[in-house]
Amino acid sequence: MTTRNAEFEILGLSSDATWDDIKRAFRRLARTYHPDVAGPSGARKFAEIAEAYMTLKETVSTGSGKVSARGARRAGRETGSGESLLSVLKRFWRKIFPRNRETKEEYSRSGGFSPAASRFVGGVITRAESDMYGVLSRREEFASRTRSDAIIRRLKSRRPAVTLLALRQLSKSGMNGDVASAAVEHFRRNRPCGEVLEVMLDVFANSPKRDDIIRALLLHAQKFTEQEAVMLLGRLKRWRAKPEFMRPFLSHKSPAVIAGTLSGWPENSVSGERSELTILLCKDDEAILVPLLRLLKKERLPRWTGARLLSLMKEHPSAAVRVWASAIVRDQKLS
Amino acid sequence: MDECIIGIDLGTRYAETAVDIPGRGVSIIPNRWGGNRTPSMVGFTKDGLVAGEDAARLMLTEPETVWWDMKRHLGSDWTARVAGRSYSPEEMLLPLLSLLREDAEAFLKTFISSCVLAAPAHFSFPERGALARAARKAGFDRVRIVNEPTAAALSAGIGGRFLVMDFGAGTLDMSLVEGDGGVFQVLDSRGRRDIGGLDIDRLLAERLCRNAGVPLSRPSDPRASLMMREAENVKIALSGAKRVTWRVPAGLADDGRAVEIDRAEFESLIYHIMEEILNMVRKMWRKYEPEKLLTVGGSSRIPLLRQMLAERVREPDCGGGSRPEDAVVTGSALYAHQGRERLLIDVLSKSLGIMNADGQAVPLLRKGAPLPAQARQVFTARGSGAIEITVVQGERKVRGGGRVLQTLTIGGVSDGETVEVDFKVDGGGLLHVEVKRGGNTSRRTISLDFDESDEIQCDFASEMRIREDRIAKLSMSYPDNYQSRLLDIAKDARSLKNDDASLQWEALGVLDRMITELERAAAG
């Protein structure tokens, strides 16, 4: 009976409590000590309450009134949840304490710290310091690796909305090499669209991997929509990208993209790409021809262009094209 | 918005996700196809794995590449063999769970790394472990499990004593819950894994085929899965209409024939299943005499079932006016924010024990114990070698009773060495096993392989306290400069309190090594 009184006490009840009282008390206490409310620190207390509740439950039949006196608890269970962490710690203490006391007596007998002992202790401490330093220095690495893993996983998502989330996160927190390589690899295979492309360009604007990502994007150059390609070209112009990065857009299906490419073309690197450019003389759009002619003005042009330039000068509906063509014809003395 | 935790109801047939935003209540998260319910299917294409509607579409053309019953095989050795590779049920769930996570991320516009997963009440420890592991692999760092009928009880949020019956596509689960001022305590739960809506579909499909004169195809036939879908639609239609005309689709017969089926015929077909369910409900009813009956799950819409329950047990209640299909996912989302004002206490549905030397199961945690629960057992080695501990789940105390979950082997023990084994079952019925050995110094944590989180959260604060006390004891006899260096090391170690568990263990290891050496030196 005494053992069972302890259970009543844990639940804050007197020993004449009914089963309903027990349940109510258990729930009231659970509300305070359940680990979901009190955090991990409540776990031990909750286990104690639950144990008391279970013990009392076993002695009653559900729904009956008073707790019956039969079924006293088995006494002296050696193991199980009854043993609290505290008692384990105490046992620990008892084990190590006497030895420590002996140690101290030994030291006092030997008259304190000998130089040899001091050297040894110093060595042990120094090693522990450097080990601990090693652990601490890996801390940031650990944290950033978990972060990068989460971002890379999302970057690779098939849903643009999720990729976008990852990129937004990157634009806030910055990017490390692993993430950048993963992004380059991902966008090499999958063409980014619309907003994803825009945010990605922002993220990579100042990254050392910028050229890598541009190369990956150029694999999809022909597939970008007009709007996407124009935006991309705008960035390339701002970054003063090499002409080789702009070249794939010269064969884009939209005249506006070609015009954009030409207007952003660096003037000092025309000769290298002369053949690519002169081919474009066959196009008819004013938007393409005007910047093209401006770029080609100082170049030596192949012989076949003469006839085309003359026809542009005479027949093209746009006055601007006619003026530029005639200027080139005059300069190069084609007539 | 701080961290979002989503609730996932991973059903046999459909999966759903929901989120509980404080102040705005629970909202169901739509998937990328605009619907609320995502088919729990995974299909194999040459581009990789697809899930959800994509897999459902694949099901109509190449059913042999589509799987949808992974959940039933969790925790077993079952594998799906596709293109020379075999996939475990966990791996099969991966694309589905990732899909759910991504849809939720796209909807909520934030990263999601925590979830509450609903699992059938009758799931065993290995099954729960496998489910949690699959979710962890799919990018959920923190996973909690909740029992499906229990979650449904939480969503209804009613007081008093009530029985929850969750009748879904694959399972039948029941929980007896007592609500008392915001605390929901589960008193008992049980379930059957062999009764579900799919069995009804199968029966109906057979009958429809016979009536229409269409040859019944083998399960591997593409037409069988088409037929199951048709049967499901007819079943749902029969819940509303008294009479349904089924037009045989082109895939099964080309002449566009149609057959009629009325509700009476359907009901006679499924009567024996309903009778069985009713028996289970009545058994629970007699034992606990609850006040209300709550029915959730899509299959609980069947009019015959509702009628039989109303006549012989109690008028069923859907709870809170929400759709019976959504109850579980709503409850899971709510469970994510449980605290003082809404607290759910589940029970251990099967007792957990270890096998003693006579081959009898000795229970450590008894059936019906409130969760979370923990038990500690201390083993003493007789002779050096290894200690073997067999963990058993189940009730019977006879020799060989209960189901053996796993045998833990702790090797390299010396004669008389004691080993402490902590068994912890968390609030959702996930089992963690922790082994502490080697007296004072080395503490090793291992876990059963169905809960693979090797880095079980160590109680870092208390572990540190033990070591700090010993360092303080040691340093008393040291000169000042050594004392302050020792305290600095301890301070460094303490600063790791919010870091990764593996780092914490490492720091504790550094301290242990140092303390052992110093103590040994001090002892001479």
Residue B138: half-sphere exposure toward Cβ, Cα within 13 Å: 26
Segments of chain B scoring below 70 in pLDDT: 1-2, 217-222, 318-322, 359, 395-402, 411-412, 437-459, 524
Q: Is the CB of B506 less than 8 angstroms away from the CB of A122?
A: no
Q: Report the pLDDT value the prediction gives residue A1, as an integer from 0 to 100.
A: 44
Claim to verify: residue B65 and residue B106 sit in the same structural domain: yes
> In whole angstroms, how large is the CA radius of gyration of chain B?
27
Report the distance separating Cα B444 and Cα B465, nearest Å: 17
- 3-class state of residue A58 by DSSP: helix
* CB contact at 8 A, B369 and A50: yes
* CB contact at 8 A, A23 and B178: yes
User: Which of A36, A95, A131 shows the shortest C-beta gap to B439?
Assistant: A95
Residue A77: pLDDT above 60?
no
Q: Is the CB of B369 less than 8 angstroms away from the CB of A136?
A: no
Residue B328 lies in a domain: yes
pLDDT average, residue stretch A81-98: 59
Neighboring chain B residues of A37 at a CB cutoff of 8 Å: 339-340, 343
Report the distance separating Cα A262 and Cα B513, nearest Å: 69
Claim to verify: residue B56 and residue B92 sit in the same structural domain: yes
Q: Is the CB of A99 less than 8 angstroms away from the CB of B373?
A: no
- Sign of the CA dihedral with B284 first, then B288, B289, and B292 last: negative
Is the pTM above the cut of 0.90? no
| Run of H or E residues at B521 | helix B501-522
pLDDT digits (tens, 9 = 90+) for B357-378: 776 777 888 888 888 888 888 8
Q: Report the pLDDT value the prediction gives residue A88, as an integer from 0 to 100.
A: 63
Beta bridge partners of B189: B175
Instruction: Spell out the residues 6+ positions from residue B47 whose beta carbon is closer than 8 angstroms to its own.
Output: none
Beta bridge partners of B147: B119
Report the distance separating Cα B47 and Cα B61, nearest Å: 16
* Nearest-by-CA chain A residue for B111: A165
pLDDT digits (tens, 9 = 90+) for A140-190: 777 777 778 888 888 888 888 888 888 888 888 777 888 888 888 888 888
Residue B247 lies in a domain: no
Domain boundary among B402, B422, B437: B437
Claim to verify: residue B407 and residue B508 sit in the same structural domain: no
Q: Is the CB of A27 less than 8 angstroms away from the CB of B102?
A: no
Neighboring chain A residues of B519 at a CB cutoff of 8 Å: 99-100, 103
Residue B470 lies in a domain: yes
CA distance readout (Å), B70 to B91, B93, B108, B200: 9, 7, 28, 20
CA distance readout (Å), A24 to A13, A27, A30, B156, B190: 10, 5, 10, 21, 24
Claim to verify: residue B383 and residue B491 sit in the same structural domain: no
Tokens of B106: 């796209």
Domain count, chain B: 3
Claim to verify: residue B107 and residue B26 sit in the same structural domain: yes
Burial of B395 (0-12, 13-18, 19+ CB in 10 A): middle
Domain boundary among B307, B326, B345: B345
Residue B468 lies in a domain: yes
Claim to verify: residue B474 and residue B331 sit in the same structural domain: no
DSSP B407-464: EEEEEEEPTT-EEEEEEEE-TTS-EEEEEEESTTS-------TTS--SS----HHHHH
Claim to verify: residue B149 and residue B184 sit in the same structural domain: yes
Tokens of B79: 């594998």
| Run of H or E residues at A155 | helix A115-155
* CB contact at 8 A, A60 and A68: yes
pLDDT digits (tens, 9 = 90+) for A188-244: 888 888 888 888 888 888 888 888 888 888 888 888 888 888 888 888 888 887 777
At B430, which CATH number? 2.60.34.10
Phi, psi for residue A8 in degrees, rounded to 5: -60, -40
Claim to verify: residue B76 and residue B175 sit in the same structural domain: yes
| Run of H or E residues at B261 | strand B258-262
User: Which of B345, B375, B470 shows the shortest C-beta gap to A96?
Assistant: B470
Report the distance separating Cα B128 and Cα B390, nearest Å: 19
Residue B261 lies in a domain: no
CA B116, distance to chain mean position in Å, is: 9
DSSP A96-108: HHHHHHHHHHHHH
The pairing of strands B160-167 and B292-296 is parallel
Q: Smallest CA–CA separation between A73 and chain B, in Å?
A: 15
- 3-class state of residue B361 by DSSP: strand
Report the distance separating Cα B356 and Cα A173, nearest Å: 55
Domain boundary among B318, B345, B372: B345
The pairing of strands B183-192 and B343-345 is parallel
Smallest Cα–Cα separation from B450: which of B462, B433, B463? B433
Claim to verify: residue B383 and residue B358 sit in the same structural domain: yes
User: Which of B339, B370, B496 shows the shortest C-beta gap to A139?
Assistant: B496
Neighboring chain A residues of B470 at a CB cutoff of 8 Å: 96
Claim to verify: residue B360 and residue B502 sit in the same structural domain: no
* CB contact at 8 A, B91 and B78: no
- Sign of the CA dihedral with B132 first, then B135, B141, and B143 last: negative
Q: Which residue in this structure is represented by tokens 């050496």? A: B517
Q: Whole domain around residue B389: which residue ranges?
A: 352-437
pLDDT average, residue stretch A12-27: 84
Residue B445 lies in a domain: no
- Find the DSSP H helices in B46-141: 53-61, 70-73, 89-108, 125-137
Beta bridge partners of A240: none
ipTM score over 0.95, yes or no: no
* Reduced 3-state DSSP string for A6-28: HHHHHCCCCCCCEHHHHHHHHHH
Interface test with A, best of B5, B499, B504, B515 (most A CBs within 10 A): B499
pLDDT confidence bin for A80, thresholds 50/70/90? very low
Q: Which amino acid is at A143?
A: A
CA distance readout (Å), B110 to A27, A187, B467: 36, 22, 40
Q: Is the CB of A104 less than 8 angstroms away from the CB of B368?
A: no
Residue B219 lies in a domain: no
pLDDT digits (tens, 9 = 90+) for A99-136: 444 444 444 444 456 777 788 888 888 888 888 888 88
At B77, which CATH number? 3.30.420.40
Q: Is the CB of A100 less than 8 angstroms away from the CB of B473?
A: yes
Claim to verify: residue B165 and residue B301 sit in the same structural domain: yes
Claim to verify: residue B378 and residue B511 sit in the same structural domain: no
DSSP B171-199: -EEEEEEEEETTEEEEEEEEEESS-SHHH
Smallest Cα–Cα separation from B233: which of B221, B220, B247, B223? B247
Residue B448 lies in a domain: no
